[in-house]
Structure 1
Amino acid sequence: MNYRVIKENDVFLLTDEKGNIPKDHPYGPGLYSKDTRFLSKMDLKINGQEPILLSSEAEESYIASMILTNPHMEQDGNVELWRESVELTRKRFIYEDVFYEMITAKNYNPKRTAFDISLHVDADFKDMFIVRGFQNGNIGSRGETTLENNRLVLTYNGADDVKRETAIAWNEEASSVNKEGDVHFHLDLEHEEARTIVFTFAPTIDGQAPKTYPPEGALENLAVSYREWEEETTQVKTDNEALQRLIDRGIGDLRILLTDLGHGRFPVAGLPWFGVPFGRDSLIAALQMLPFNPDVAKGTLKTMASTQGQSKDSWRDEEPGKIMHEMRFGELANTGQIPFTPYYGTIDATPLFLVLLSEYIKWTGDLDLFTELEPNVEKALEWIDSYGDRDGDLFVEYHQESSKGIANQGWKDSGDSIVHRNGDLAKTPIALSEVQGYVYQAKESIAAIYEKHSEGQKAESLRNEAAKLKEAFEKAFWMEDVNFYALALDEDKNQVGTITSNPGHVLFSGMLDEDRAQTVSRMLVSDKMFSGYGIRTMGKGEAGYNPMSYHNGTIWPHDNSMVILGMSKTGNKSDAAKAMKGLIDSAASFEYDRLPELFCGYDAKGKAVNYPVACSPQAWAAGTPLLFIQSILGLFPDSLTETIELNPVLPEGTNELEVTNLSIGKGQLSVRVTGKDDGFKTEVLSNTTGFTAVTNRYHHPKGE
């Protein structure tokens, strides 16, 4: 990455590798909260010159550090500051919505040395949509800048009648400061003497200022919260070092991306631009996290339920019972200039809401949450059958109504992603293959919960609807000539026949017969679809195929994870192991072994090729290796029947895997899988779940 990003709860900081926020940079660095840029310039200088970068680290994710030094400074033959004589260390973090910047200057000159350290700051308070160049509109104006003691306050009066402020403070007397945001400190240090200046930046909205703490205490509290997160999360140990690094990175990154809007913790979509609630992304990331921390799913479900659609509103693509797509909080949203308050243009979030709820209950047995959310469940099911199925053909399809909405409303939401074999773009309404799988799974799973609730009539009705959908899906989507399922149906109910990864999501739904599931699985790991580093979004040789295209040939880790989980569930374990190994191998190509949002779909020859503007960290990419663990174990608990299915396979390069403290029902499960060329075995180390049917089998290492 050529940028550094840190986040905590609702605030994130995006800078260059030196730690600066260059003014008017096209990438839009800054300090952001509630979709507003509260800091648009932050430059560190020594004697008025920009220091030289030595190192820039953000491995811990919640804290970043940079080491810099001074250039050689000479005037008229007189040395003002010898090169590399001063070390500058920047250490920064965010705690309880305040950004802390600790700048330490250390003198390595043999003699006592005097120099000037300065920080130059400004805030434009731009809405994120304006920063990214997506939108212009009616905006407010800068207010008065105040300067008092060791504190500078920049203000903005928004067009939404919201007053925003950035309060900047420092811990010692500055040698000079002005309202233009130039803060200078004169330092005079002995050899190896160091001095630390602490800045705090507090975004304030309508007078609601966050509390500032002493930096050492704030940092320790932040570190403690991360240790607690690790302790409450399932533990994994494996001899595959690459897989271990992926797991550790994924757990840490998901902690960064957690936010709480008052209904419990849930993962925002990703950084830097999607640190907000996203229906589809948050729901899938929470699904990936179920084996590690099911409480996140609970917070996600309650957050989504709190914004469930109430009325018909074409501006926001809202309909009663629909689960939102994206929520924004900035000036443009507040003034109705963009429809994201929230925006509902997603076809899959509503069935995924039901899928996550049913899977959460299978893992936890928390039927109280179902009772609490049952009105939301009924509204979601009603939306599927009415607004979702626009023409009564049993298929859920989408069509954009909002003038500033999204045209393609599945997870592949770019404008060119739904393309026919001849290269023509499909026209809406469009019914996507994976969405029908989500709907089938939702109805089957919710039926089982209704049955447990002694609501047999509702259960029977949902199962009948699911059975009809399965039959209709086979007739409408199966393509006999290529032995695969269509990507979608277009406005005329014609198959969009391009070979893509989308039907792979249907594997997890349970809607496919065994032979068809195996056929789909084999196609997805064929040379056409599998690059060696992962399953492509679109097959080589298709009219729309482009290994650099956002959705038409690249590799998305989360897409792979959903397919891999389905392969594991349907018994296609060798294919799952192959796909997992590809992504594990790809991780070495990325900074800090962090799987990005996506990467290019070229054949594996050397390093994986980066996609230039991929989000990183990104929630469902971080959750991908977590879902690997469930897939490796073949672990599918069901608290409704009090059973736990274990059907493991170890991907190549993995000989030992130990997973401890899996939360299932009201207890925990710990499992070890070991093996080499002559086979492998599964040991249940402990089982306090109270569930009696634990399957423990021996398997060939290739999963055949």
Structure 2
Amino acid sequence: MNYRVIKENDLFLLTDEKGDITPNHTYELGLYTKDTRFLSEFKLLINGESPIPLHSDGGENYRSTILLTNPHQEKDGELILWRESIQFERTRFIHNDVLYETVKATSYFPKEVSFNIGLQSDADFTDMFIVRGFQNGETGTKAPVTSEPGKITFSYNGIDQIDRKTVISWDQPEKQVEGGSVTFNWTLQHGESKEVTFTVEALHQETTGVAADRQSAMQALQDSYKVWNESLPKVQSNHQQLNRLIQRGTDDLRVLLTDVGFGSFPVAGLPWFGVPFGRDSLIAALQLLPFNAEVAKGTLRTMAHYQGTKVDAWRDEQPGKIMHEIRYGELANTNQIPFAPYYGSVDSTPLFLMLLVETINWTGDLTLAEELKPNIDRALNWIDEYGDRDGDLFVEYHQEASKGIANQGWKDSGDSIVHRNGDYANSPIALSEVQGYVYQAKTGIATLFEALGDSGRADQLRAEAERLKEKFNQDFWMEDIGYYAIALDEHKKQVGTITSNPGHVLQSGILTEERARKVSAHLTEEKMFSGYGIRTMAEGEAGYNPMSYHDGSVWPHDNSMILLGMGKLGHHTEMNKVIGGLIEASRHFEYDRLPELFCGYDESLKKAVPYPVACSPQAWAAGTPLSFIQSLLGIFPDSLNKNIVINPVLLESMDELQVNDMKVGEGVLSLEVRRINGKVDVKVLNNTTGFEVVSQQLTKHFN
């Protein structure tokens, strides 16, 4: 990737590979929080010129280190600075919503040398939607910059009546400070070093500066990562690339965690989606459940807080609906865009219920269901009253908001729901995966209601789910193809294009065993499986395009939702093929990181082809390797009934997998899976849950 990004909580920095924020970059570089750019320029200069990059490391999410050197500088034949004589090291991190950057210069010139280090900065306070060219609108006014010894301050008064400030400070005496620029004059002997630390505070509304000394801030940040890593189960295998993927996934999910007041949850991804996203946050939390269930609780509470309360066509809001996305910038705050929050996703509401059920399956925490009972009731009511617009048992979407999203499933681009003849489907549209989510949600919530003593409501939900199952298998199944349609259009006509969407319903229980087998088989045939993962659309379909966003590309999270179903159903051959493809794809991306998506070309190109503007790191892509582990173990706890079902398998390229200290219920579970004489053997190394462990594959019961 040709950018560098670091994030902590709600503040993120996006720079070029030299560490600079400069205009006219492919990505709109800057320091961002609350959907506002608080730095639009941040450029290091050596005697007024840009340094030359040597090394730029973006692998550590919370800290970035960049090495640079000076260009050769002469004036009128007189040497100013010999080329590559000074090494410059830029180290930056974020803590407590403050950016810290240390610039360290080390001289390798054989004699004493003097030079100027300059920092040129600016802050335009532009709304994220304007930065990205999506919207224009009425905005506030920027005040003149103020500069004084040790400090530069940029100020802005928004039309949303929020005062915003960017304050840049430093800890060494400057030669000159003027406007947005500060210059230091340093003299160094051979081998001598000097450094200056800048702090940048992005002040929003009533926030005040909370900058600490650099060492204390760095230690606190490192300690928080240590606590995070120590809280996770330990995964060990003899497959080194899988091991790296797990570490990368948990590291990326940690950096994407944010707390807006209701507990930590994963934002969707960087650089552009560092905000609460209904669908994305919920699915990432679902992937993370075997590793950290507390994040799921924070996600559920955040979504519950923003649950829809009224009918508002401008926001596609309805009572009980779980939001799609919330933005905090000037345009959203003044209602110029409908994102404060926006509710245009048809799947967030059943996914909210699914995540709640699975969280309780892992934790046994029924008090969470009691706490969120009003939100459960409202979500179920939304499904039946507003989601099912015409009473045909299917949940459909239709855009009401003039500045909203037309396609409101996870494939939300305008061309993603297309008939086999190339015509785009018109809404209201009922998506196949959404019906599976609803079925899974209703059957799961029924179990919770039963545990809470409401057997009448439980029976009602199960009856509704069974009616949906019958109608889904009748109306979505394409007998001539042996597969499910992606959707039904406004006329209830099947949208028959072969896509990955029906794969999401494998985990739901809505399919018969025979049809589930056919779905898994279709997904791993050559037209759907690229060699690096399951495509979003089959090769040869009218809408197929391997370079497209949703019509032939490969999305790791899409694959992960399918894998969870394959693992649950024991479709091991197909599952291992998909996991193996994604692991191979990861070798072709920087830092062993699965991106948001990549192109759907097959293996003839000898590598997975990047999609030009994929988010990286991205939450549900980061969570995908964690789903590999759950799928390989085939582990699906049922804490309410005090049992843990496992159905373990190993990839052909591995002989052992050990997972220690998975939290289930109020205890931990440790498992070891080995290949011995060609057969897979599983051992329970530790079980303090008090639950029975049942291995379906080996028909063993472990107490």
Mark yes or no: TM-score above 0.5. Answer: yes
Instruction: Give the match for residue 506 of structure 1.
Output: 505
CA deviation string 1:506-545 (max 9, x = no partner): 0010111111100000000110100110000000110000
CA deviation string 1:105-131 (max 9, x = no partner): 011001010001001000000000000
Amino acid at match of 2:658: E
Instruction: Give the match for residue 46 of structure 2.
Output: 46
Instruction: Give the match for residue 659 of structure 2.
Output: 659
Deviation at 1:146, TM superposition (A): 2.0
Instruction: Give the match for residue 702 of structure 1.
Output: none
Name the SS for the 2:640 alignment partner: coil
Contact 2:323 2:341 in 1 (8 A): yes
Instruction: Give the match for residue 480 of structure 2.
Output: 481
Deviation at 1:143, TM superposition (A): 1.2
Contact 2:506 2:516 in 1 (8 A): yes
Amino acid at match of 1:155: S
Instruction: Give the match for residue 151 of structure 1.
Output: 151
Instruction: Give the match for residue 165 of structure 2.
Output: 165
Alignment of 1:137-286 (within 5 A): 137-179=137-179, 181-286=180-285
Structure 1: how far apart are the matches of 2:6 and 2:313?
A: 36
Contact 1:96 1:210 in 2 (8 A): no
Structure 1: how far apart are the matches of 2:193 and 2:503?
A: 58
Structure 1: how far apart are the matches of 2:74 and 2:152?
A: 33
Alignment of 1:21-36 (within 5 A): 21-36=21-36
Contact 2:270 2:616 in 1 (8 A): yes
Amino acid at match of 1:689: T
Deviates more, 1:393-402 or 1:218-227: 218-227
**TM-score normalised by the chain length of structure 1:** 0.98
Deviation at 1:676, TM superposition (A): 5.8
Deviation at 1:576, TM superposition (A): 0.7
Amino acid at match of 1:377: I
Structure 2: how far apart are the matches of 1:130 and 1:209?
A: 26
Deviates more, 1:430-439 or 1:651-660: 651-660
Contact 2:426 2:490 in 1 (8 A): yes
Instruction: Give the match for residue 628 of structure 1.
Output: 628
Contact 1:139 1:159 in 2 (8 A): yes
Change (3 A) 1:432 1:307: same
Alignment of 1:10-21 (within 5 A): 10-21=10-21
Contact 1:682 1:696 in 2 (8 A): no
Q: Say if 2:613 is the partner of 1:613.
A: yes
Structure 2: how far apart are the matches of 1:185 and 1:449?
A: 64
Structure 2: how far apart are the matches of 1:697 and 1:428?
A: 44
Structure 2: how far apart are the matches of 1:577 and 1:683?
A: 21
Instruction: Give the match for residue 441 of structure 2.
Output: 442
Amino acid at match of 1:115: F
Deviates more, 1:52-61 or 1:689-698: 689-698
Name the SS for the 1:442 alignment partner: helix
Structure 2: how far apart are the matches of 1:122 and 1:216?
A: 26
Deviation at 1:26, TM superposition (A): 4.8
Name structure 2 gaps, 5 residues minimum. none
Deviation at 1:233, TM superposition (A): 1.1
Structure 1: how far apart are the matches of 2:652 and 2:549?
A: 29
Structure 1: how far apart are the matches of 2:650 and 2:24?
A: 50
Amino acid at match of 2:4: R
Deviation at 1:144, TM superposition (A): 3.2
Structure 1: how far apart are the matches of 2:658 and 2:209?
A: 42
Contact 1:679 1:698 in 2 (8 A): no
Alignment of 1:341-360 (within 5 A): 341-360=340-359
Alignment of 1:585-604 (within 5 A): 585-604=584-603
Amino acid at match of 2:419: H
Q: Percent identity?
A: 60
**TM-score normalised by the chain length of structure 2:** 0.98
Amino acid at match of 2:503: G
CA deviation string 1:440-476 (max 9, x = no partner): 0000000011111111100000000000000000110
Contact 1:683 1:696 in 2 (8 A): no
CA deviation string 1:345-384 (max 9, x = no partner): 0000000000000000000000001000000000000000
Instruction: Give the match for residue 363 of structure 2.
Output: 364
Alignment of 1:54-203 (within 5 A): 54-179=54-179, 181-203=180-202
Structure 2: how far apart are the matches of 1:612 and 1:209?
A: 38
CA deviation string 1:651-675 (max 9, x = no partner): 1212111101101011000001111
Structure 1: how far apart are the matches of 2:59 and 2:677?
A: 36
Contact 2:646 2:693 in 1 (8 A): no
Contact 2:338 2:403 in 1 (8 A): yes
Name the SS for the 1:589 alignment partner: coil
Structure 1: how far apart are the matches of 2:162 and 2:77?
A: 54
Instruction: Give the match for residue 583 of structure 1.
Output: 582
Deviation at 1:697, TM superposition (A): 4.6
Name the SS for the 1:213 alignment partner: coil
Amino acid at match of 2:392: D
Alignment of 1:375-386 (within 5 A): 375-386=374-385
Name the SS for the 2:314 alignment partner: helix
Deviation at 1:170, TM superposition (A): 0.5
Amino acid at match of 1:680: V
Contact 1:38 1:125 in 2 (8 A): yes
Structure 2: how far apart are the matches of 1:560 and 1:566?
A: 10
Amino acid at match of 1:265: S
Instruction: Give the match for residue 9 of structure 2.
Output: 9
Deviates more, 1:208-217 or 1:582-591: 208-217
Name the SS for the 2:227 alignment partner: helix
Amino acid at match of 2:164: R
Deviation at 1:76, TM superposition (A): 2.3
Structure 1: how far apart are the matches of 2:697 and 2:420?
A: 44
Name the SS for the 1:671 alignment partner: strand
Contact 2:267 2:619 in 1 (8 A): yes
Structure 1: how far apart are the matches of 2:209 and 2:402?
A: 37
Amino acid at match of 2:53: L
Name the SS for the 1:237 alignment partner: strand
Structure 2: how far apart are the matches of 1:166 and 1:220?
A: 24
Deviation at 1:23, TM superposition (A): 2.6
CA deviation string 1:313-368 (max 9, x = no partner): 00000000000000000000001000000000000000000000000000000000
Instruction: Give the match for residue 305 of structure 2.
Output: 306
Contact 2:439 2:510 in 1 (8 A): yes
Alignment: residue pair count: 698
Name the SS for the 2:32 alignment partner: strand
Contact 1:574 1:649 in 2 (8 A): no
Instruction: Give the match for residue 324 of structure 1.
Output: 323
Structure 1: how far apart are the matches of 2:543 and 2:123?
A: 43
Deviation at 1:596, TM superposition (A): 0.1
Q: Say if 2:564 is the partner of 1:549.
A: no
Deviation at 1:48, TM superposition (A): 0.8
Structure 2: how far apart are the matches of 1:698 and 1:435?
A: 33
Which 4+ stretches in 1 moved above 3 angstroms? 696-699
Structure 1: how far apart are the matches of 2:27 and 2:619?
A: 21
